[in-house]
Amino acid sequence: MGQRSPLVTLAATAVGLVALLVVNSTQTGTPTETAAATPTSAPTTAPPTTEAPPTTEPPTSEPTPTPTKQLTATYVGKTTEREATVAIAVKGEQAVAYVCDGRRLEAWLTGTVADGEIALRSRTGERLAATIDAQTATGSLSLDGRTLRFAIDLAGPPAGLYRSSGSGRTIGWIVLPDGSQVGVDNDGSPAPAPQLDPSTGFATGVPDPARSINGDETF
């Protein structure tokens, strides 16, 4: 077998190297190609959130109104022109009034109270209307065909309104804060009332005791 020439050997070596480079390049992709070939993960989809139902507060019950304390009071005093003396006793939604001149004229009136307004009437047609509060009563009344006006004050015992009835006679007394008294004794022939002792309820010559009028009486 003959010897190869150096040029032939060199050419064969070069061909082998080229073939090796070609094989290597086909097996090894570029980083870019490799990354592109890598499958991407599917995007994560958050599960739909369930909204909590709106909180419904239980209906609140309306507060029960506190009843207004009923007024219990007695007002006494003179009419504006001092023609007569007036006493008004109030208890809750009812009231009683007595007006007299201390000689012969008098009237007992009863009626109602609403929102600080009182409206009273006597059996013989006299009327009294007034506005009251915790300290005063202001209004007007009719007596013997005349209209009398008044502004009278709250009074505490023994001042107040008293009445005695029995033995065919009715007596009314108004006791003023200074201790003075005005009243009419009516047995069919009106006359000034006898002196009353408020602490005992008895008056001179009167067998039937007087009682304090509170405002809820009817006559």
Q: What is the pLDDT of residues 188-198, one digit of tens each?
A: 999 999 999 99
Rg over alpha carbons for the chain, rounded to the nearest Å, is 56
Type of residue numbered 6: P
38-47, 81-90, 112-121, 123-132, range with the lowest pLDDT: 38-47
Condensed to tens digits (0 to 9), the pLDDT of residues 6-40 reads 444 444 455 455 444 444 444 444 444 444 444 44
Q: What is the pTM of this model?
A: 0.69
Instruction: Assign 165 a pLDDT band (cuts: 50, 70, 90).
Output: very high
Question: What percent of the chain has pLDDT above 90?
Answer: 65
Q: Which two tokens stand for residue 20?
A: 């090796």
Question: What percent of the chain has pLDDT above 70?
Answer: 68
Q: Which two tokens stand for residue 50?
A: 């369930």
Condensed to tens digits (0 to 9), the pLDDT of residues 146-162 reads 999 999 999 999 999 99
Most confidently modeled range among 2-6, 17-21, 52-56, 83-87: 83-87
Give the chain's end-to-end CA distance (angstroms, integer).
166
Backbone angles phi, psi at 107, to 5 degrees: -160, 135
Q: How many CB atoms lie within 10 A of CB 69?
A: 7
Which 3 state secondary structure label does DSSP give 82?
Answer: coil
Q: What is the pLDDT of residue 66?
A: 34
Q: What is the pLDDT of residue 219?
A: 86
DSSP-derived letter for residue 79 is: B
Q: What is the pLDDT of residue 167?
A: 84
Q: What is the pLDDT of residue 151?
A: 98
Backbone angles phi, psi at 137, to 5 degrees: -130, 125
Average confidence score pLDDT of the chain: 81
Q: What is the pLDDT of residue 56?
A: 53
Instruction: Assign 70 a pLDDT band (cuts: 50, 70, 90).
Output: confident
Condensed to tens digits (0 to 9), the pLDDT of residues 172-181 reads 999 999 999 9
